[in-house]
Amino acid sequence: MKKQGTGNSKAVSVYRTRMIGSGLLFFLIAFGMVGPFLVSGDPGRQNLSAILSTPGKEYLLGTDHLGRDMLLRLTAAIRVSVAIALITTATASLIGVSLGILAATRGGLAERCTSLLADTFLALPGLLLVLLLVAIAPGSFWPLYLGIAMILWVEQFRMTRALVQPLATSPAVQATRLLGFGPWYVFRRHFWPELQANVLTLSAFGAATAILSVAALGFISVGIRPPTPELGQMMIELLPYYQEAPLIFLQPILILFLLVLSLNLIAGGKIR
């Protein structure tokens, strides 16, 4: 009974943590979507007569070093970061889970080739791989998207292969195949229930990694190029003015921190 009570308390704790993370992420996304309706305007529009203005009635969150509205820029940056995180994570999950199931069910040459491919990507420093792709087409979205997706799929692949291998040879799966059910039914009925929680957890961690990667590239001025607002780019632009306007400088840092925190809270418990 004591062990059961401990297990229940841990489950409740993980559930609460995920709910807090989900609520925080929902608030940030809502802020990113609703912000432009609160204040109309262009996030790239400059007003040199209102440089580094403090938050007030005219500018709710103040302005940056070029007099641009921080509210509009932060909401646009949130939309950019979340969109890239969603797209790259979805792509990485699709590739990783598909190749993991292929390796686990086919075995032999298929498993050796996919495992070698995963080990090759794993041996490369992730951020360096993204930098190499971004260097080919600076400021373009597609190299950034492709590079981050190529980093994230490996963990999904390894997890899927490890979980599906014992399932693929289980009596239940063998019986299902003998009865004539196709691969999609086997996946939906036997594989996905075991994979779902872990795929979602790794996806949350992957989304946080994607957001940090975009911010890191923006911070060294090789990611998304101006005039598109991006959190890392905003930090490096405001860094020289941290003493004059610390509140303005801290805003993109706080947004980045809250985005990553919310996704890590959603990830919750351990990967089995």
CA angle, 254 as apex, 249 and 256 as ends, to 5°? 110
Residue 64 maps to a domain:
no
Instruction: Report the C-alpha gap between 226 and 242 in whole angstroms.
Output: 20
Residue 39 has φ and ψ, to the nearest 5°, of -135, 120
Sign, CA dihedral 64-70-74-75, equals negative
Contact predicate 199/143, CB 8 Å: no
Is 105 a domain residue?
Answer: yes
- Residue 214 structural domain: 2-41+76-267
Per the domain annotation, does 247 fall within a domain?
A: yes
Long-range pairs, 8-12, Cβ under 8 A, ≥24: 10/269
The neighbouring-strand residues paired with 63 are: 69
Tell me the CATH number at 114: 1.10.3720.10
Q: Specify if 213 maps to a domain.
A: yes
Residue 108 covered by a domain: yes
Q: For residue 63, is it within any domain?
A: no
Per run of 10 residues, the mean pLDDT along the chain (length 272 residues) is: 57 81 94 84 86 86 90 93 94 94 89 90 78 74 85 92 90 86 87 90 93 88 83 92 91 95 82 48
Contact 135, 148 (CB under 8 A): no
In a domain, 26, yes or no: yes
Count of structural domains within the chain: 1
- Kindly report the backbone phi and psi dihedral angles of residue 246, in degrees, each rounded to the nearest multiple of 5, phi listed first: -60, -35
Q: Is residue 61 part of a domain?
A: no
Residue 272: per-residue pLDDT? 47
